[in-house]
Structure 1
């Protein structure tokens, strides 16, 4: 019979024992679990089934579209600047609640904000102009939105504005069919795709890559997945693609391919382990990180797989262009006509018939577009990531670093450093435990991440740095947003101390110099003295007891030291526990919770346990059915051992910890 029939941990802090918590000491987990970095929260009056975000970097304006409204947000001061209702006459003719106008497109187009919505299954678009006092917007023009907005928000669609032209992919029919990528409005001719080029596509993203010195060769890149023509049961049903069209493409001549892309080419986008023929084929999301030199513009692609794993692969536009410019054409073994199919020319209507015919019948490249790291994805995880954005951050030494911000299907954000070919998971932040992230937009200049959920909009401050850290802690974090100065670990400033490449703490001042810096700063800022790490408890003999210390790095290993002996940490959420089944004389004395990460060892928490004499009456015994398993604890001192409780019942028999 087990000695302890029941052991419970009853804490006002609502702790729960988590058996699948991140494994301590493993770099495959986030190093930190961040808290309190959400700066702004906007609760919706009604839950939103769909939301769309638009951020204009030049004007630093942020817009959110939901059901029957568009919001303009201030991501600095965390408030709604204005709310613009978009209920239409078409909705008023419908029965209540059946003709919602779900906003699906927000773009800066020409001289206005261009907004499109489902409009009760009759897609409509509007131009919103700023009023004279610049305090609100008003509708001046409206347009038929078929082919720009889907009929219902669940249908696949994308949109893009480039050089005064509007590009989109949205179904032309109410059943979601006739989906293709088109140029729909602007100064150039409307053009669209040939039906045989794609098979049941799901469009993910489109991006315009500028070439300042060669604008006639600028391309629009389209990322999508389509049905696999290989119906082998072992083949993945999806194939991921990148396609391109020339921005100057005006379609073919009046007698052949008029209003059709004459420059459309597509290639397979590969992410996986080629040597094992193991691929992530389901493209989930795309983020294009533009560079001054278009060759160096990077494409970060998020893939999912049929075996419940996700991966990030990285490509450059130069690598993609290499395939389009030099690969042979699938299913074609004759001489390639000139100009080469896919070549950008100012007047596409004059292209030879042989070139256009090649595009029509053989638009796919033989060669595949492999990722930057070729033999493996940049990052593979068992987390189900759904969205990705990438920020480019200037470190204290003026070097630039890329940070991936990945959204999970459980409402979390993982911040991942691109450290050469290695992924370093800086942190995990739980934004919502109620719903997944619907939309996500990066405001890079402001270092804010805006996220949309069904119930709210949240703004995450990317420059929030941990307080009360040492220089070693700050450097080990390898967080480009934070650096060590005499004021502590603060948002990165030039001259601050960092080591983003490997987190080596040798760049830190000596412990003596660091103490002098901290003391000097405290005198100048009148900061309070540090909290003593040691906590004292008086505990009776024969009762169960536990000690706790916070986990401040999941890349570290933790042990408890007492009386010259070491014992492992029992992990509970973000705490390390040391459990004492029954207090005996040898259990009294000093305890230290010690963490070690790389070559950095520190004492996280100290305890001193002393004996407490407890007098127990017959009435106490009658009122206490669990007998000595109930532990009275002095509540006069704040303690990590037993936070906010005076009576604690312990029992972890089910875990096999005590026999």
Structure 2
């Protein structure tokens, strides 16, 4: 009898097939609960809008702001002894709010919109105050073991310029050196948006009022202090937002543009012009686009979220941004990644200027005043000027008329890291975790969608110009889907905190067991959080001894890590399982769905031949199973 060699061969598909938009594992809310890797938290009180999250890594506490409540939670277990503050608007204020015509959708309440650390023992918090923003302090104590969390009695401050009036308006804020910087609407009607500085020992300053060249119906996303050099006087505040385009009415111009702006932290306004206004305010366009086969560039203009990943150099963090398409005809979203070097180069480049009979944007070619607009006083290039009030009128007036840079900011490699088109959802939020694996360090993206799910995505380099994107999992975080918003935060304890309209959920960053019970299952998952420990697919720790861990993120080749047959000359890539049979006997070739990134091909090889027969015995675009079962049926491929 001749021996028939059956080889199960796996093809891992790259970015050019629809497998890249299919998650390796999809878990419904019920299935996710069954994994025991999440902890839902919600009040028994009548509240909603769990929007504001602030992590205190020192005390291991997570501060949560919602409608009329503030909560201090244990970051290890959000359901462990939560500390709760009830902070409602007064009955009188609620009544006054309703008299103005508000309150039809429950807006006449105090929605918490800011929680920032003031010092080691206190937090500063602000809320909408039923359309009259208010702020106060919270005493959190020296140590988490004190279980102290209460409002400072008798202290209430105006929240104007710190918190929005309308709870539906987005805001961004950061408390830096005792000064509060906020991107917020500062009036009852919501018609006066501004980048505001309040509190502290510096004078209150803001952006120019009612000047669409500075801000044109903006939606504020993120504010972050980023040093520019070793000189502290060069420190700048970067703010990310989207705004209505000034050219939106003209032809094919986009209606919305993504922006990054900046001001100097030590900007105190002008002496005669721009008094109590920023004299260093500049902004530039963030571009996230793809170029089609026809050469047409498609833009994702609606900035939705920004995550700033710190590096060893505090001056050069990595900026991850989520975009979606602004129109309704084409639905898509993308993630683009930017370097601070590229951002600074644009701010050091030409200014935009409207010129000519068509009044079009052109680079400004005239004389640039000293100090160069956007330069900080007392910094590297202006050691002789110690305050912006010493800036020349020419320099201040130039900034007022030319706040926009001419060149846009393109992402690293001039292309998105992740793109989604032709799907029924858009990305809305992002958090990024850097994970150490056996074969290197990887960036894992957690992407919230507008249908209330979170995708865990890893992007791997294939060669110099292409990448391979893998959706490791997609999970339904909340029982009720179609949430209005998701807010993601990664903690040091390998936990993801997801908040929404209805509640907060603590989610483990990994669920290794769901990938399967075999070494090959675990290896093919290519999840840097997981490795085969000899018996199970379990959480990977870099400190584990090499011989007891099996992991291959770059290639996902189980032959290198697990038992199998290395048929290198197979056209479809690495072989997975080797089985011998006798010609004339029967075998069932099982093809059960498990990995969307794989195809299945059964080949046969007769005894004495060096290569397997290249004719497919069966080939399914299905997920892969790793065992062969023998049945008393004719030799067939099922």
| Partner in structure 2 of residue 200 of structure 1 | 217
Against the structure 1 CA distance between its residues 156 and 457, is the aligned structure 2 distance closer, same or farther, given a 3 Å change threshold? closer
Secondary structure of the 2:389 match is helix
2:373 is the alignment partner of 1:341: yes
The residue number in structure 2 matching 1:387 is 429
Q: Give the drift of 1:403.
A: 0.9
The unaligned stretches of length 5 or more in structure 2 are 1-15, 355-363, 379-386, 462-466, 566-588, 604-614, 634-638
Query: Is the counterpart of residue 323 in structure 1 residue 339 in structure 2?
Result: no
2:126 counterpart of 1:85: no
Q: Is 2:118 the counterpart of 1:109?
A: yes
The CA deviation at 1:511 is 5.0
| Structure ID, larger Rg | 1
Match among 230, 242, 256 for residue 273 of structure 2: 256
> For residue 480 of structure 2, what is the aligned residue in structure 1?
434
Aligned counterpart, 2:175: 161
Match of 2:524 in 1: 476
Q: Say if 1:69 and 1:557 are closer, same or farther in 2 by CA, change over 3 A.
A: same
Displacement of 1:30: 1.5
Match among 498, 507, 515 for residue 551 of structure 2 = 498
Shift in Å, 1:608:
6.2
User: Deviation string for 1:412-450 (max 9, x for gaps)?
Assistant: 111111324443221111222513263423233111111
Counterpart-to-counterpart distance in 2, 1:315 and 1:476: 30
Counterparts in 2 of 1:187 and 1:28: CA distance versus 1, 3 Å:
same
Q: Secondary structure at the match of 1:602?
A: coil
* Equivalent-residue separation in structure 2 for 1:483 and 1:73 (angstroms): 31
Match of residue 288 from structure 1: 308
* Corresponding residue for residue 21 of structure 2: 28
- Report Cα offsets for 1:268-311 as digits up to 9, x if no partner: 11110365232111111111112122454111111111211111
The 3-state SS of whatever aligns with 1:403 is strand
**Alignment-derived partner of residue 70 in structure 1:** 70
Q: Is the 8 A contact 1:150 1:170 kept in 2?
A: yes
Among 438, 446, 449, which residue is 1:405 paired with?
Answer: 446
Q: What is the match of residue 198 of structure 2?
A: 184
SS in 2 for 1:27: helix
Which range moves more in the overlay, 468-477 or 312-321? 468-477
Q: CA RMSD in A?
A: 3.2
Number of equivalent positions: 523
Answer whether contact 2:494 2:509 (CA < 8 A) is retained. Answer: yes
Q: Is contact 2:123–2:137 with CA below 8 Å preserved after alignment?
A: yes
User: Which of 524, 528, 533 matches 1:485?
Assistant: 533
The two structures have a TM-score, normalised by structure 2, of 0.75
State the SS of the aligned residue for 1:402. Answer: strand
CA shift, 1:29, in A, is 1.8
SS state of the match for residue 397, structure 2? helix
Q: 1:395 to 1:375 in 2, by over 3 A?
A: closer
CA distance in 2, matches of 1:91, 1:466: 55
TM-score (norm 1): 0.73
Query: What residue in structure 1 maps to residue 334 of structure 2?
Result: 311
Q: Call closer, same or farther: CA 1:25–1:130 in 2, change over 3 Å.
A: closer
Give the match for residue 14 of structure 1.
Answer: none
1:376/1:68 CA distance change after superposition, 3 Å: closer
1:137 is matched with which residue?
149
Choose 276-285 or 488-497, whichever is displaced more: 488-497
